[in-house]
Structure 1
């Protein structure tokens, strides 16, 4: 088992309800935390300040002056993690969807396979709407096409562990989607880079009264644009990807 330096990055945009409990849970796992305030309102920003005051030596706060999107927030957090010398970043969302009790499982798997990307494979309960559940497959199929594989079982789950060096390399090479498409896009680039993936089943629950920042028209347009860009990127890399797939089958 490899010794790694892992901390947590939590993108926050007006999600105060579960935030203090989440940070306390992460601190109980001895994780330092980067809270990225992506232009939150006064209530949420004040809570972030209070949490940082409570955990002065272990909670870092980054602030965007205005809302830029989840992808921009996670990117900022990853680059800050790199500057702090972290080898791995646990990403977990602030809205209470994720099963925090699985944090040790994700970290243990990263310790066992430090070069891999560890991603959550959601196990949904009855709180997920049918529209949301089946709508995810449009993105899944495009990711499978653009990687010529099904290595990435679910590219949209925001519960994951990044290898920081490999990920930040891609952040500097490519202009990423600033909003919801980032979670999928960064995984495709990492797959193209040759990073391997481990999919961990984990429960996902949509809390009653939860707040969604998905903008149907704007985000669906940006997702379509992203998948098109990745598709042409896949075509350009097609010989390399096919050679890799054939080599994998021979092995």
Structure 2
């Protein structure tokens, strides 16, 4: 299944959902406390499409929290894997089938999108990713995570819910990088597939809720925690990497 968390994405969310539905079913949208009226519009779309489900949270809780709500409902409904994508039009819906095929062939792995940037990508965002990816490589002893921030991914639901429930983080912008690290610690192998990313201008319907100060502080705190935990467990991580064995419960 496909899960699309959304918060005040404007009309672009409708286009994103239509494109996702054109390539996959079912699609679940989690409206994370949006105040732009899109919850009602999405409900109207779902009323005419049995393969589209809309979950509405009364207040904004963050991307990770919105995804977790869908994950727990999906697991109860019998789903085992989920593809997550953003609602702002940056992610390539036409690649959903290819990512799902890769997940089907490697059910125990996580399939991670590796962004291919074009000229629209802000230089500060591209450079920022390099820093984030450097720390991810340190934290996982280069376990193979191609990009820690790109949210177009397929996860196995059960271990993802477990790592999220074991801690109080991973609920906002820190969701994508931290769950990738913690799943890698548990022996969930990453499979990286290239995916083009679009940065849309405001006149194209582009909306960004990234706050450079707030979210960079959040990411800095996240990497500080992860690096410290990795250092404490370095002998175990190194042994597991050499023996190609997962740390599992020893690395919460």
What TM-score comes out, normalization by structure 1 length? 0.91
**CA distance in structure 1 between the partners assigned to 2:82 and 2:25 by the alignment:** 10
Q: Deviations over 1:41-99 (max 9, x none)?
A: 142222222222122x3222222221111121122222221121111101011000011
Deviations 1:146-201 (A, max 9, x none): 11115101011110001111111112212223221110000111011111010000
Q: In the alignment, what sits opposite 1:26?
A: 20
Determine helix, strand or coil for the equivalent of 1:127.
coil
Question: What does residue 78 of structure 2 align with?
Answer: 85
**Candidates 189, 192, 212, aligned match of 2:182:** 189
**Quick one: structure 1 residues 30 and 215, their matched pair in 2 at CA, closer, same or farther if it must change by over 3 Å?**
closer
Instruction: Give every structure 1 segment of 4 or more consecutive aligned residues whose post-TM-superposition deviation is greater than 6 Å.
Output: none
Give the deviation of 1:30 after TM superposition. 4.0
Q: What is the CA–CA distance in structure 2 between the aligned matches of 1:228 and 1:51, rounded to whole Å?
A: 43
Aligned partners of 1:220, 1:83: CA distance in 2, in Å?
35
CA distance in 2, matches of 1:78, 1:222: 23
| 1:7-26 equivalence runs, <5 A | 7-26=1-20
Distance 1:106 1:16 in 2: 27
Q: Secondary structure of the equivalent of 1:86? A: coil
Q: Name the counterpart of 1:233.
A: 229
Q: Does 1:177 align with 2:173?
A: no
Is 1:40 equivalent to 2:34 in the alignment?
Answer: yes
- Secondary structure of the 2:96 match is helix
Unaligned runs of 5+ in 2: 246-252
TM score, norm. by length of structure 2: 0.91
Q: Distance in 1 between matches of 2:228 and 2:57?
A: 32
Distance apart, 1:142 and its partner CA: 1.1
Between the aligned partners of 2:185 and 2:16, the Cα distance in structure 1 is 33
Shift of 1:224: 1.0
| 2:113 matches 1:139 | no
- Given that 2:118 and 2:197 are in contact with CA atoms closer than 8 Å, whether structure 1 keeps it comes out as yes
Provide the C-alpha distance between the structure 2 equivalents of 1:22 and 1:220, rounded to a whole number of angstroms.
Answer: 27
**Does the 8 A contact of 2:113 with 2:152 survive in 1?**
yes
Distance 2:147 2:24 in 1: 28
> Number of matched residues?
242
Deviation at 1:113, TM superposition (A): 0.5
The answer on whether the counterparts of 1:17 and 1:95 sit within 8 Å (CA) in structure 2 is: no
Query: Which of 148, 156, 162 is 2:141 aligned to?
Result: 148
Distance in 2 (CA, whole Å) between partners of 1:17 and 1:161 is 25
Q: Is the contact between residue 16 and residue 47 of structure 1 (CA under 8 Å) also seen in structure 2? A: no
In the alignment, structure 1 residue 128 sits paired with structure 2 residue 114: no
Measure, in 2, the Cα distance between the counterparts of 1:214 and 1:30.
28
Structure 1 stretches of 5 or more lacking a match?
1-6
Corresponding residue SS for 1:161: strand
- Residue range with higher mean Cα deviation, 230-239 or 112-121: 230-239
